[in-house]
Structure 1
Amino acid sequence: MKLTYSVIYFALIFTLVGCTVFAKRSSRPSRGAVAWVETSLIIPILGNLIIVLSDIGILTLIGHYLYFLGVNSVLLALVNFTNVHCTGIGNGTQKPTVMYILLFVDTVQLLLNPIFEHAFVLETVTDNGNTSFIITAGFGRIFHRIIDYVIMISVILIFALASVRTPRIYRDRFTVLLFSMTAIALMQTYYIFSESNYDRPVIAYGFFGLVLFYFAIIYRPLRLLDQMLSSIVSDLSDAFYVFDASGRCVWANEQGCKLVGYSGTNYEEVNAELIGMFGSPSESEGRISRVAVGTEENIRFFSLEEKQVKGPNGKYNGSYLRIRDVTVEEHALQDRDKRIGLISLEAYKDALTGVGNIASYNNKVAEINQQLENGPVEFAVVMVDMNDLKQINDQCGHKEGDIYIKGCCQMICDAFNHSPVFRIGGDEFVVILRGQDYTARHQNVKALRAAFEDSFEQTEKDPWFRYSASVGLSESSSADKTFEPVFKRADQAMYNEKKMFKFLHGSYRS
């Protein structure tokens, strides 16, 4: 019997050492927590191995200490693993500090046992000339078992909650560990009441370590889904990503991996690359947006389609992200906008300034409204209203007023040289921002305001060369179903700025 247990313990120890090394080399985010559990499981198994093989009292005592302290080490590592493995399943954010404190207190009282002998005492028993050792339990060992059971049951309950809350397709990575821990707890309870000489549950600890290693490091619950999705999207040029309910990437096609420069199979690391390139994911149920990536010389444009997936009961199960490179389309769109908004067709060109007129503007609004029918569209509106044009016309003449209009228009075009500019009234201009100008909208609006302020303060110049205008900016949101609400917000922002201008400078120039 001793030989059989010894062989099993040796095999489990070497296997757990291998699992520890492999886990450390893994790219999984939970690799550190898994390696800690695997290493901790070696300690109680080693303690039992010493107990089985030893005929010397002091070695047997050391084996018992390794076992009891090793169990605490296992539970400490298991609490840490649970905190890492189940992150994002519930709404809790607190660390398991209470569990850490309980284990620390129990460990201290076990370490004090050589002094007070309050936990257990090793006794020698002779039967027919054969010497063996047994331990007599004290209140410290009872306290030790109570702490262990409290923590083990808490961990089991957390995994039970995770098994219920996680989507079905991802559930087995929790349920298998849940059943394994429950089985170990039951075996441990049976061992306590059966008073077996050899701690058979320790063997179960070893097999639990193998199960945990497999499901936390190697196992991927979406292998069938991998094959299905690969077959469906393999011919697509778009990058495609699938996320679970906690926001972790669980699958990406070949184009998706290439886009973020990733060549592994642990898709969880893709999240950080995507956020670095395109920002944090949307919290809305669905969104279509365009994002500019790179420097101005090597800028690329991408269309992002994000969609949440919910079950029949309305429970959020995950999401997918489809990314398409639209650089060529965006450049064509910008060229078209410039042609229509600036110098193309005479019917759509403002005669004085050369920018788009009201007809061109209405066409652009209709185009955006049509896009909005298919979902949210990312754009911004800049409303510009020249200050004191009427006074310049009345006091200086309409020729000077035209000079003033063209000068203000040129400053607007310089600020937004990648977007169409429209003159929709005598002193009113609208700029519709997409792509690169949308990304830099706040910087460009700030620069335009500063340029108008600097020009206005040049009092040595004639009034019609001191360009000034009030500027308002508004971005689209997921709640906007048409262009009109965005325009109204920009118009209101411009109006508020104009009131401040009149309060500071009045309606007449010096």
Structure 2
Amino acid sequence: MRNAIAMMVAAVSVAVVICAWIARRSEKDIAPKVTNFLYALLPPMVGNLLIIVGTVEWVSLTGRYLYACGIDITMYCLLDFTLQYCGMTWMKSWHRITILCVALDIVQLLCNPFFGHAFSPQMEMAYGAPYYNVNSYFGRNLHLGLVYAFMAAVLFILLGKAFRGVRIYSEKYSIMFLLLMFTGCWELFYLFSRTPVKRTVIAYGVFGILVFYFSLYYRPMRLLDHLLADVASGLTDGLFLFDDNGKCVWADEHGLACIGIQEKQVSRSTERLKELFPGLELEKNDWKCQRQLRDRYYNLVKHTVLDSGKRPTGSVLSLQDETESVKELQRERYIANHDSLTGLYTKEYLYQRTRERIQQNPETTFYVAYMDINNFKLVNDIFGNEFGDFTLQCVAGNLRNNLPPTALYGRIGGDAFGFCFSEREFDIGRAEKYMSEFVIDNGTVSHRVVIHEGVYQVTEPEIDVSVMFDRANIALETIKNDYKKHIILYDDEMRDRVLHSQEITLELPGAIRSGQVRPYLQAIVDKTGRVIGAEALVRWIHPERGFMPPASFIPCLEQNGMIADVDRHMWHCSAEILKRWAEKLGRDDLFISINISPKDFYFMDVGKELRKIVDETGIPASRLRVEITETMMMEDSSERFETLRELKDAGFVVEMDDFGSGYSSLNMLKNMPVDIIKIDMMFVNDMKEVSRTSTILRNVINMMTELGLVPLTEGIETEEQYELLAKMGCKLFQGYLFAKPMPVEEFEQKFLLGGNESPGD
């Protein structure tokens, strides 16, 4: 009997090895876990075989240790397999704890020969030969508890998936649950019955083989039936079967209802389909298309059916109603391509349609226009956002009503609109009249808005559409402040300005690196005529164009923001000059005034940048004076006031240039953190009006002095102006009378190295 049981164990072990080898070659995701579990079964099965055949104590005990340690590893691999089989993953902490428990249990079992704490052998006769059973102690009970804890965890996971998951999937989990439950019950029966000759490992082996089968090969028919039923139900919009001659031999009720014929007329299906869907090529194999039938949209798919010899035996045509999907897609496209407020094209879609129209009509002359509402922010501020939105909607409505049906138009953004039309659709007189009489009236508020429009004739159809609209916008900017003229065409002069701007933009970085862009210094003198500092003015010495006047490149850089790069370069150059004067010439009493553009605040932290420069060069902050304009403080004044205060606190001297040229406010002047006020040229241009001019200048200078501010008059060109302003109390002077802006080397030679500190010397 024992030999028969041993042969059964050996046979099951061989089967497990074969299954493990096959599983190892499988490409399914679960295959590695199945392989590990099957290989893990081999040590306890070999151990059980030794227990069965061993009639000598040491052979039986070796089998006991091999079985006990092997079953620990088997249970861990079973839990690892179950988690993936059920679509779950290990928590890292629990994974480590599980491995630690298995390792500790194996160690304590292997220590049994020394401490005898787990079990001891007990010889008894079984089937006419000695058989060594064991007496269990604490260590073995602990081991059994761990094994059954593993088994309980696996059963709990399978049971939970079987009952809490979708019913059609319960079959794959319930089968595993029942198999493992049977194996566990057999193990318990053996333990409590003390049946001679341990044979429960056969159940584990059979369970491993079934795990292999159900994980890698079993196909749950209930699940497949359910899924196939769902697939079939998805074809309820129409199904037609054709024989090898193209004759319809069967159609489902939904297909017949769709094409409007009865079941007995099924042979007419081919003709009817061609009538309802013109151009349908039913005689062709394997195709799909989308067609509209009345107010419905259908996807038509035809498949050829082949026999085992790859010969056509017929075909299947399915109709799938895609009306909701198509309409939803149309809605989404409309939303994506149309502005939500005005209903006009979005900028991107307008550009796309414009490009398509120009490409499709290469012989037609087109215009693109850029239009915006002047001072639209004031409309929002005065009348509120609701009236502002109403204004935009009225403009959009007027575009629809006044532009030809074939014209393209859209909202480019904010209060800006764009449109494209052909030459025959362009009526400049009508457009001018339309924009000059635009009044918004919502029944409560009536407001006339000023609209400007720039128009670009498409002479270069290959350029990007965005560039076309940019050119139209460039034209518009030239009449932005003209309230009589509302429309203007882009011309060659504007184009030249654009090209010049592009050249300046491209060449500037190299010009800064090579020193073409450099500071010129204009002397600043005190009442005695002694040079006490200078203002750094940017100049560009171009290798081909020569000396470039600031007016030829500064406006362009102000517009594109690159003025910030120029200013940063000028600040660094000025600081290096001051450092050289102090170290090489011993002149640490001079200062240089540097200019700050309003755009600098948008592209850098001005205060941080200036503090960094004086820290790197080691010059006192007071020698690098900061010059701002009065108009610059009108924008974001609170933020810029704070920056100036930080600079003053850091030791910088702050000058305000062009005083009196803008919107000078005495209240603003009182609060402005400045040290020096540069009086604008407008006060000294007409010194012949002595009485009025003198009164204004005297009072302005006195007011500055009493406020603790230092007055500096710039633009002094005659001795008469100099003497008069000095008598009025002006402290500092600048102008061509003393020195024109000059290269640094010339300035140093004239005022520092030649010993002449007075321009008149």
2: CA distance, partners of 1:61 / 1:25: 36
Q: 1:133 to 1:200 in 2, by over 3 A?
A: closer
Q: 1:159 to 1:456 in 2, by over 3 A?
A: farther
Letter paired with 1:108: V
| Number of the residue aligned with 2:367 | 351
Letter paired with 2:72: N
Q: Structure 1 residue 120: deviation in Å?
A: 1.2
Other structure's SS at 2:121 match: strand
CA offset digits 1:373-422 (Å, max 9, x no partner):
xxxxxxxx985999xxxxxxxxxxxx996569999x9556479xxxxxx9
2:209 aligned with 1:193, yes or no?
no
2:81 aligned with 1:81, yes or no?
yes
Gaps of 5+ in 1: 239-254, 256-287, 290-332, 363-380, 387-398, 416-421, 428-450, 470-498
| Number of the residue aligned with 2:155 | 156
Is residue 162–residue 171 contact of structure 2 (8 Å, CA) maintained in 1? Answer: yes
1:131-142 correspondence to structure 2 within 5 Å? 131-142=130-141
| Number of the residue aligned with 1:171 | 170
Greater Rg by CA = 2
2: CA distance, partners of 1:29 / 1:59: 40
1:31-46 correspondence to structure 2 within 5 Å? 31-46=31-46
1: CA distance, partners of 2:118 / 2:168: 46
1:407-426 correspondence to structure 2 within 5 Å? 410=463, 413=466
CA offset digits 1:451-495 (Å, max 9, x no partner):
9995797995697999869xxxxxxxxxxxxxxxxxxxxxxxxxx
Q: Structure 1 residue 56: deviation in Å?
A: 2.1
Is residue 13–residue 42 contact of structure 1 (8 Å, CA) maintained in 2? Answer: yes
| Number of the residue aligned with 1:438 | none
2:114 aligned with 1:104, yes or no?
no
Q: 1:225 to 1:128 in 2, by over 3 A?
A: closer
2: CA distance, partners of 1:353 / 1:384: 16
Other structure's SS at 2:64 match: helix
Is residue 12–residue 206 contact of structure 1 (8 Å, CA) maintained in 2? Answer: yes
2: CA distance, partners of 1:165 / 1:128: 48
Other structure's SS at 2:173 match: helix
Is residue 369–residue 453 contact of structure 2 (8 Å, CA) maintained in 1? Answer: no
Q: Structure 1 residue 167: deviation in Å?
A: 2.5
2: CA distance, partners of 1:406 / 1:92: 68
Other structure's SS at 1:351 match: strand
1:390-429 correspondence to structure 2 within 5 Å? 402=455, 410=463, 413=466
| Number of the residue aligned with 1:20 | 20
CA offset digits 1:262-321 (Å, max 9, x no partner):
xxxxxxxxxxxxxxxxxxxxxxxxxx99xxxxxxxxxxxxxxxxxxxxxxxxxxxxxxxx
For normalisation by structure 2, the TM-score amounts to 0.35
Is residue 83–residue 95 contact of structure 1 (8 Å, CA) maintained in 2? Answer: no
Give the structure with the larger helix fraction. 1
Is residue 50–residue 60 contact of structure 2 (8 Å, CA) maintained in 1? Answer: yes
Q: Structure 1 residue 185: deviation in Å?
A: 1.8
| Number of the residue aligned with 1:206 | 205
Q: Taking every aligned residue pair, what percent have the same amino acid on both sides? A: 23
Q: Structure 1 residue 39: deviation in Å?
A: 0.8
| Number of the residue aligned with 1:66 | 66
1:108-123 correspondence to structure 2 within 5 Å? 108-123=107-122
2: CA distance, partners of 1:467 / 1:122: 97
CA offset digits 1:117-164 (Å, max 9, x no partner):
211112334689843322122111111111111221112112222223
1:293-304 correspondence to structure 2 within 5 Å? none
2: CA distance, partners of 1:225 / 1:127: 53
1:302-451 correspondence to structure 2 within 5 Å? 337=353, 340=356, 342-344=358-360, 351-352=367-368, 402=455, 410=463, 413=466
2: CA distance, partners of 1:129 / 1:455: 104
Is residue 456–residue 467 contact of structure 1 (8 Å, CA) maintained in 2? Answer: no
Q: 1:178 to 1:129 in 2, by over 3 A?
A: closer
2: CA distance, partners of 1:344 / 1:128: 99
Q: 1:353 to 1:129 in 2, by over 3 A?
A: closer
2: CA distance, partners of 1:132 / 1:188: 19
1: CA distance, partners of 2:143 / 2:193: 18
Q: Structure 1 residue 25: deviation in Å?
A: 1.0
| Number of the residue aligned with 1:292 | none
2:183 aligned with 1:184, yes or no?
yes
Letter paired with 1:351: Y
1: CA distance, partners of 2:137 / 2:225: 53
Letter paired with 2:46: L
2: CA distance, partners of 1:16 / 1:196: 25
Is residue 50–residue 63 contact of structure 1 (8 Å, CA) maintained in 2? Answer: yes
2: CA distance, partners of 1:467 / 1:150: 76
Other structure's SS at 1:134 match: strand
Q: Aligned residue pairs: how many?
A: 326
Q: Structure 1 residue 74: deviation in Å?
A: 0.8
2: CA distance, partners of 1:189 / 1:349: 94
1: CA distance, partners of 2:103 / 2:217: 32
Q: 1:129 to 1:211 in 2, by over 3 A?
A: closer
Q: 1:32 to 1:383 in 2, by over 3 A?
A: farther
Q: Structure 1 residue 71: deviation in Å?
A: 1.0
Q: Structure 1 residue 28: deviation in Å?
A: 1.3
Letter paired with 2:84: V
Letter paired with 2:107: V
Other structure's SS at 1:124 match: strand
Q: Structure 1 residue 209: deviation in Å?
A: 0.6
Bigger relative contact order (CA 8 A; separation at least 6)? 1
Letter paired with 1:43: P
1:194-273 correspondence to structure 2 within 5 Å? 194-221=193-220, 222-224=223-225
Q: Structure 1 residue 208: deviation in Å?
A: 1.0
Q: Structure 1 residue 225: deviation in Å?
A: 5.8
Other structure's SS at 2:132 match: strand
Is residue 51–residue 198 contact of structure 2 (8 Å, CA) maintained in 1? Answer: no
Gaps of 5+ in 2: 240-285, 290-302, 304-327, 330-348, 371-395, 401-410, 417-451, 478-501, 510-549, 562-600, 607-630, 636-761
